[in-house]
Amino acid sequence: MTSLNAAIIGCGAIHRNHVDALRLLPDVDLRAIAEVDTPKGEHLAQRYGCRFYRDYQEMLLAHDIDVVHICTPHYLHKPMIMAALAAGKHVFSEKPVAMSGGDIAEIRHAAYASTGRLGVCYQNRVNPTSQTIDALLTAGTLGEMHSIKAILTWSRSDAYYRDSDWRGWFATEGGSLLINQAIHTLDLMQWFGGGVRRVKGVVDNATLNEVTEAEDSAMATFEFHNGARGLFYASNAHVTDSPLLLEIHCQHGTLRLQDNILWLLTGDGQRELARDTAPDGGKSYWGTGHQQAIAHFYHALRHPTADGVMDLDAAACSLQLVEAIYRSSQLRRWINLTDVID
């Protein structure tokens, strides 16, 4: 497999990260885009030097397309993933891969029957700070883990939801804050903690209840399989997008991610271990992980035994955690993660 041809479905804000990442990859060409807004799609196709399709199903019939990137609203992910896999294409999808565990079960069956490979974009896992945390925890030099705390406070205005009719509704977005903005934080927490055993959570809609039916704030307590405790708080009701604050307290020190810088705190003081940089022209909290995540996926297509790709099973973990928090908030009790596994 010397050269790969890519296509992108959906030309919203995030698609440009995919375009920029593809341009940096050797022997990869962007051949087509699919977009329901015809003037926008035609303009972008001319700009990118590729073909334009209004109907993504028609695009999937093209024999010169090897990889399909899905950058559409959440409710379209499952049918588009399944259609692309059925067409024998490799698929790289934005998160969430689906909106429920039942959806994941259907996608899994489609993936088993396809010659294509499925990857999911959880780009924060490949940030320098995340990779450093994972390496230190894997090495075990900090000793037993005691707790993980994460605080995410971002801002989403009424217009953010009114200008996109699919956002903030369970039928089309699958929720709001948890499944969109905070799912990356939940993914990091369960990854660093080795998986969540059970969760007790509460969701609320305090400031956006007139424009969305879903939550703008959430809090939860986790019990990880390794015995550690997790404390999580997130909200879209802040006045600005603050960087994630993440702390991992271990026997021999604390890892603190603050203002995109990872620090190690011990009895001898603190020292910087790694830092994340903002993408050129993009949102600072996106980081540059898209480039690395997409590069890893294409490397894995050429080297099937390569590690480091977020596949369907890995992507399911954070979605199950989102479902568990919703269910816990409704029932007002602890929820075992085994109860929401598809």
pLDDT tens, 135-154? Answer: 999 999 999 999 999 999 99
pTM to 2 decimal places: 0.94
Strands (E), 27-140: 28-34, 51-53, 67-70, 90-94, 118-121
Q: Which residue has the tokens 């297509």?
A: 301
Q: Would you state the pLDDT for residue 279?
A: 58
Q: Which two tokens stand for residue 207?
A: 């400031």
Q: Would you state the pLDDT for residue 308?
A: 66
Q: Would you state the pLDDT for residue 325?
A: 98
Q: Would you state the pLDDT for residue 278?
A: 67
Q: Would you state the pLDDT for residue 125?
A: 94
Q: Would you state the pLDDT for residue 280?
A: 55
Residues 33, 22 contacting (CB under 8 angstroms):
no
Would you say the C-alpha torsion 199, 150, 157, 70 has a positive or negative sign?
negative
Q: What is the pLDDT of residues 242-282, one digit of tens each?
A: 999 999 999 999 999 999 999 999 999 999 999 998 655 55
Please list, in sequence order, all residues whose beta carbon lies within 8 angstroms of the beta carbon of residue 175, skipping any fewer than 6 positions away: 214, 215, 322, 326
Q: Would you state the pLDDT for residue 154?
A: 97
Q: Which residue has the tokens 């369970």?
A: 170
Q: Tell me which residues of the chain have a pLDDT lower than 50.
A: none
Please list, in sequence order, all residues whose beta carbon lies within 8 angstroms of the beta carbon of residue 162, skipping any fewer than 6 positions away: 211
